[in-house]
Structure 1
């Protein structure tokens, strides 16, 4: 199985909270549904050890520097290249579905459409498509260009540790994925899902967990789905679903990292080395 993972690790992860027992239809869809008490969404996200690594300001700065270096390399070859903006906290897709409803028309912006490029542009960026490096860890293989501006910049940042960096990112991805999978057998998460499901059922919605409901509304709230989304978020608040879910996911992420001794330490060390080399 081959997957593409970004150089700052595939960040996959987490989500939300909950409060009293008023009916969901009493909540206006145009009003921000805030997190109750003193618990903030950011504090819930920050519980996740892998999110603290891949979603940190340092990781964002590295991605910005990497994109700028690739753009400069392409410019020297006569091509205009706009680097992809790093994923920030506001762009992060939480693993437990919607966390809040605000007065924006949509929940997730459409992916930008990339302009078609000619073969020469692709060769400048990625090099000869037959020249790649492939790293395999834990049943997953990731390939990266061996030539071109992307490879040149990664070599300048990582030196001889490029394959090590790719391998560490694969292991982080696997740790995140397996931690999330372990939630399905967790007693506390089963109880949280049952409480949330009973809450939305009182509003006429049948779903066993937020992921099932999210697949229906697909993160895009139109006029037909807005009340469903409001009910989802309201029930997460009233059952404190996200507090439980984030806590359990953080617990399992830590266990998965502990099963991979040295991955966290080595990943952070290589990230910091790249930041220094990018200056």
Structure 2
């Protein structure tokens, strides 16, 4: 993977203290690799993992990766952000984003694409402010931590209203569609496919992954089906042949929203 794809679907976390896994992850079909200094790294390994990661990045300028740093309210944040100065760090994942000031602390070091990982009640309360902050490329939903902090039980549907707000906030801010949270049970392929399809239906653009087994399912689900591509081509062909006249396709009016949807589907296949 030479660079982060513009329309990434799958984002694979790799613990920053497991350097031996980096090359293997980069050779998967994941659209983006996130080298993780936060949850995946024990406290006693935070500093040595950062040093080792920096050395690896300098030694491998050919690989473009994303880095999940520790949150702004931790002792490791300031030094973690220094990694953004390296050319092959293409984006920063900021966990527990709660205010615009959290993002601006990154901008003070470097103007770099930032994915705001919202996973606390305060972060969610400020989600539209966060989405409108300069350099925010997209929102990510830290659904597991958020559910824990909210003392919520159940699964996907209990968080439905919150997911809707992620999509709406992103649309209002004019940023990329959001990225949905992880499915913890990476062995249950049926569950992964279900939750990925639900995210797509809600308007999410991709999903965080914690295991390579999840990548193909996520990529397949977020890729337009053959039927969707065929429909999109028919729509645009019908519109082109109409030369500005009102048209319908299969008994349904083809208006601007339909045309835009068709164009978006074909763009995803480029």
TM-score > 0.5, shorter chain as reference: no
TM-score, length of structure 2 as denominator length = 0.23
Q: In proportion to residue count, which structure has more strand? A: 2
Query: Whose helix fraction is larger, Structure 1's or Structure 2's?
Result: 1
